[in-house]
Amino acid sequence: MRQLCKGNVAVIKGAVLAGCRAYYGYPITPASEVAEAAALYFPEVGGTFVQAESETASINMVYGAASAGVRVMTASSGPGLSLMQEGISYLAGAELPCVIVDVMRGGPGLGNIAPEQSDYFAMIKGGGHGNYRNLVVAPASVQEMADLTILAFELADKYRNPAIVLTDGFVGQMMEPLDLEYREILAPEKPWAVKGTAETRKNMISSIFLEPDDLEEHQRLMEAKYIRAQQAETRWEEYLTDDADLLVVGYGIVSRVLRSAVDEARKQGIKVGLFRPISLWPFPSKALLATALRSEKVLVVELSNGQMVEDVRLALEGKRPVEFYGRVGGNVPAVEELLAKIEEQMPAAV
């Protein structure tokens, strides 16, 4: 079945299919429709929806529900995510799985409600305290808002770690056809959870390790799972990269504009291809390097002043020149604008 659906609503449709039955959130533009859809659908399927008093409370409610072993989520945008960072650190430290959606808007501070991709550092590099990682996926379409939310739940449970769906105001607000078929998705058993039963009575959810050796051991175990995730969970999409002289890199809404710009540039004979990271952490560094080595140079485009570009440069180890083009403040470049940037890099062969 194809239905015309808003990105933010598709998140909840995916979550319902994924077996998520608990939503704790606080409204914020441009993410509010996620909470609204959860308020509508979750109670119908026997789930819980609570509008919390703040994002701080939301994320700690997520912590509580995750402690009990249920699939749980919240969603917000920049300022709300800033408030949640302490809680995300606790969730990671206590190894609690959950899904957090960040529908990015302009910052810093109150900024504005137009799309930006300026939470990349906060979500990928860890905006909370301590040594931890978030598992981060970046949808670029309404269909992916549902599909990657489902994936996020699976990753969160697999690695007992918070998973972030990092998107932006445009992908959250836009409508596209969504193909949604019922399928049974079973959450794994969680023998570690605290459920108020005889079997789980000895269980404890905590992020405290007073002894340095104990905390180091805990962190080593966390590191080990992050290494496993880096090996198994990188995801990306390539478009016309086989013969590309110029490789353009972008995620989320930017990848959509880049795709159109690539088509336009190809019409002019410019050999350009698109690399779109789908997982932002782990970052698809190896795949990007392999693809970039087939090109002469790389152009990274973001709705930021240059955040993901750092990971691109790390991945390429200086083996290819990396140029950057960013728009900020809620401005999203038009196809013509990015085409001009591509032409700047690669004057058309005459």
Partner 1 sequence: MSENNVIQITETLDKPKATTDGYEIVHSKSQLFYPEYERKGELKHQTHYCPGCGHGVAHKLIAEALEDLGVQDQTILVSPVGCSVFAYYYFDVGNVQVAHGRAPAAATALKRACPDKIVLAYQGDGDLAAIGTAEIVHAANRGEKISVFFVNNAIYGMTGGQMAPTTLVGQKSTTSPWGRRPVNEGFPLHMAEMLATLEAPVYIERVALSDNKNIMKARRAVRKALELQRDGAGFTFVEILSPCPTIWGKDPVEARKWIAEKMIPNFPLNVFRDRKVEVPNNNIPPHKTVAELIEGEKRAVGDAELPLRHHHFRELGIKIAGFGGQGVLLLGQLLAEMGMREGLEVSWLPSYGPEMRSGSAHCHVCLSKDRIGSPLVSRPQVLVAFNEISLRKFAAEVAPGGTIIYGREALPDDLSIPQAQVVCIPASEIADKLGSAKVANVVMMGALLEETECLSPATAMQVLEKKVKNPVMLELDRKALAAGRIYIDHTVAIGAVTQADGFAQ
Task: Please report, as residue ranges, which positions from 201 to 220 form the binding site for partner 1 (by CB under 8 A).
Answer: 201-208, 210-211
> Is residue 86 close enough to count as binding partner 1 by CB under 8 A?
yes
Contacts (CB under 8 A) with partner 1, residues 4-33: 4, 16-17, 22, 24, 29-30
Complex with partner 1: residue 171 or 315, whichever CB lies closer:
171
> Is residue 334 close enough to count as binding partner 1 by CB under 8 A?
yes
Helix axes 212-232, 142-159, angle to 10 degrees: 140
**Cβ of residue 269: shortest distance to partner 1, in angstroms?**
19
Place of tokens 């939301």: 58
Distances (CA, A) of 260 to 28, 212, 232, 241: 31, 53, 30, 14
Complex with partner 1: residue 315 or 332, whichever CB lies closer:
332
| 18 CB neighbour count, 10 Å cutoff | 23
Complex with partner 1: residue 203 or 219, whichever CB lies closer:
203
Q: Virtual CA dihedral for 230, 146, 102, 256, nearest 10 degrees?
A: 80
> Is residue 56 close enough to count as binding partner 1 by CB under 8 A?
yes
> Is residue 259 close enough to count as binding partner 1 by CB under 8 A?
yes
Question: How far apart are the C-alpha atoms of 276 and 333, rounded to whole Å?
Answer: 17
φ, ψ for residue 330, nearest 5 deg: 105, 0
What is the maximum alpha-carbon separation in the chain?
77
> Is residue 335 close enough to count as binding partner 1 by CB under 8 A?
yes
Contacts (CB under 8 A) with partner 1, residues 62-81: 62-65, 67-70, 72
Please, what is the end-to-end C-alpha distance for the chain in angstroms?
Answer: 47
- By rule CB under 8 A, what string of x and - marks binding of each residue 303-332 to partner 1? -----------------------------x
HSE-up (13 A, CA, CB side) for residue 286: 7
Contacts (CB under 8 A) with partner 1, residues 154-183: 169-170, 173-177, 180-182
Q: Binder to partner 1 among 186, 198, 349, 350 (CB under 8 A)?
A: 198
> Is residue 238 close enough to count as binding partner 1 by CB under 8 A?
no
